[in-house]
Amino acid sequence: MLTAGRAFRCRLKRVVSSTVAFRDLSNHGYSKPQVVTEDVPGPKTIALKQEANKVHQIGSINFFCDFERSKGNYLVDADGNVLLDCFQQISSMPLGYNYEGYVNLFKDESTVANIVNRAALGNFPPASYVDDLKMMMSVAPKGLSQVVTLSCGSCSNENAYKAAFMWHQRKSRGELPMNTDDNIGSCMINKPPGSPELSILSFAGAFHGRTLGCLSTTHSKWIHKIDIPAFDWPIADFPKLRYPLEEFTRENGAEEQRCLTMVEELIHQWRHKAPIAGLVIEPIQAEGGDRHASNDFFCKLREIALQNNVAFICDEVQTGMAITGEFWAHDHWKSPTPPDIVTFAKKMISGGFYFTDDMKWDEGYRIFNTWMGDPSKFPILEHTLDVVKSQDLVKHARDTGNSMQSALKDLEQRYPGVINSSRGVGMFVAFDAVDTKTRDDIVKGALRKGLLVGASGNASVRFRPSLLFSKAELDIAVDILDSTLSSISKN
């Protein structure tokens, strides 16, 4: 028998599934940006920042938001500026602001009960948790049969590293027991053999989070890392591709091979220092500047990990959930062997990671915290998946992404002294400015005209729209960019 909440969500599912062709479901109520202050941020945000600064570090705050008035792909700030948002809360909003289906979910009593009685999922999950796990497994990456729910990208990666370490040690011990006196006593004082000298290999330019283990594999910005102790773990070069790709096939192939050779060398070099239990990589280095590598590179990297008994961890925190024109970005690789672990968060609403049967541990409490995720987010994820499937938003991301990439290439040709290296997969697109100052001028100039985009790396401008980003909104974004670039090119 269905609970009231499950029955309500099934009714929503039937309504959503009744429409086959893509249509704009964002219900935004805005048709264009509207900037009402002389600059963004405006005076109300500046006053709020000054007030907050008395008790809070405000250095990362861009502006305060009016979420009640925000709709669809339009974000309204505290000053009443209506902004076309192509950044979507750092790539985390799958269907935009105040999506009607989400709002309706929170009128349901069972959803409210999950909010006010937030369960400690590892110990006392609601009866609906089994259905939630099945729902998550409906979009599991091919070849991965297990899932752990968590709260955010950092904790997803942090616990994925732990899973890789536990897998490595289990393989190393063979049939020997884990809980020997030597292991127990030494781990309690952070010494081998209970606390073994192991490592995770990561890549220059990577971003995997800011918790301590993740921070040791993050190499995108010094501000994240300075003054913080880090594990001495190996770092391989990530390919630095040259654009346009079709003009540098030979050079890019050689660069990728250089990086693969470095990975193999590091695995062998570290065997007698801190053996590499796992490697972690993003299908597209997001915070590091939207840096890409070829499908062939990733397939060969996967093969190297297999040959050396290194767990392959694919960080899909930013690239998961359809945005690249496949549900998972690593699906583009067509690798004959899946990753061992795939981490997720952001557009997946909840955090966590998928993994293979072989990676599964036998004991409780090894991957554990009080909440292990947030059950109030699972109905939102379920509804999101219904919309993604019924509206074929994977194809929409692919098609709209092609239009976005074509438009950026046109702008690149018109303003060659200002921007270059436009690139992307699906709607996960970016371009580079000629230098950091110009990039910052582009981002600020576009914001003053009502377009919110993101910055990454040294000189990259990135786009992370919702999955309901429309052709009309793309045209508006391109017009604003064109105007912004025109002004910069004249200075």
DSSP code per residue over 312-363: EEEE-TTTTTTTTSSSSGGGGG--SS--SEEEE-GGGSSEEEEE-GGG--SS
Condensed to tens digits (0 to 9), the pLDDT of residues 113-142 reads: 989 999 999 999 999 999 999 999 999 999
Residue 319 has pLDDT above 70, yes or no: yes
pLDDT band, residue 27 (cuts 50/70/90): low
The set of residues, in sequence order, having a beta carbon less than 8 Å from that of 126 and lying 6+ positions away, is 114, 119, 375
Residue 227 has pLDDT above 50, yes or no: yes
pLDDT attached to residue 20? 39
pLDDT attached to residue 23? 62
The stretch 355-362 carries a mean pLDDT of 97
Condensed to tens digits (0 to 9), the pLDDT of residues 258-298 reads: 999 999 999 999 999 999 999 999 999 999 999 999 999 99
pLDDT attached to residue 110? 84
What domains can be seen in the chain, in order of their start residue?
4-60+81-103+392-490 (3.90.1150.10), 118-388 (3.40.640.10)
The stretch 88-101 carries a mean pLDDT of 97
Active site residues: 207, 315, 346, 370
pLDDT band, residue 253 (cuts 50/70/90): very high
Q: Could you give the CA distance from residue 351 to residue 370 in angstroms, rounded to a whole number?
A: 14
Q: Could you give the CA distance from residue 359 to residue 170 in angstroms, rounded to a whole number?
A: 10
DSSP code per residue over 435-469: SHHHHHHHHHHHHHTTEE-EEETTTEEEE---TT-
Residue 57 has pLDDT above 80, yes or no: yes
Tokens for 317? 């925190």
pLDDT attached to residue 28? 57
The stretch 422-431 carries a mean pLDDT of 98
pLDDT attached to residue 275? 98
Average pLDDT, the chain: 94
Q: Residue 245 is which amino acid?
A: L
Q: Could you give the CA distance from residue 411 to residue 421 in angstroms, rounded to a whole number?
A: 11
Condensed to tens digits (0 to 9), the pLDDT of residues 384-416 reads: 999 999 999 999 999 999 999 999 999 999 999
pLDDT attached to residue 12? 47
Q: Over pLDDT 70: what percentage of the chain? A: 94
Alpha-helix runs per DSSP H in 174-246: 181-187, 212-215, 222-225
pLDDT attached to residue 17? 40
Q: Residue 26 is which amino acid?
A: S
Q: Give the containing element (helix H, strand E) for 281.
A: strand 276-281
Residues making up the chain, counted from first to last: 491
Q: What's the DSSP call for residue 85?
A: E
